[in-house]
Amino acid sequence: MTRRWPSSKRPEPPTRSPTSEASYATRLSAGAGRVTFVFTKPAALGHNFAVRCGKRRLGITPTISRGATRRLTLRLTAARYTFYCVVPGHEASGMKGMLVIAR
């Protein structure tokens, strides 16, 4: 089955470890410090997972497709960030969300 973005079914979720999961939907949250995102099982179409603060990109996974998993660990201070897919057109299609880091 080929799943294309955008579609009613969003790509599989990035999650923050160790215990929480959230979809590549609209919002993720975590406490300040080291945060590891586990980006796994995207659709057949390649996607990646990046985090930025304002216009500054803080980190990005490689672009992966179905079945793969990549981790991204960042040290984040309390603020609001944006997570998104850097593949051209994907963020504009809505493949992004807010990341809230609390103290």
What residues make contact with Cu ion under the rule CB under 5 A?
Answer: 47, 85, 87, 90, 95
Give the nearest residue (CB) to Cu ion. 85
Closest to Cu ion by CB, 7 or 77: 7
What sign has the CA pseudo-torsion 76, 32, 86, 40? positive
Instruction: Kindly state the DSSP code that residue 90 receives in the 8-state scheme.
Output: T
Contact in structure between 63 and 49 (CB atoms under 8 Å): no
Q: How far is the CB of 4 from Cu ion (least distance, A)?
A: 10
Q: Which is nearer to Cu ion, 74 or 86 (CB)?
A: 86
Residue pair 83/53 in contact (Cβ under 8 Å)? The answer is no
Q: Which is nearer to Cu ion, 76 or 85 (CB)?
A: 85
Q: Are 90 and 21 in contact (CB under 8 A)?
A: no
How far apart are CB 25 and Cu ion at their closest, in Å? 14
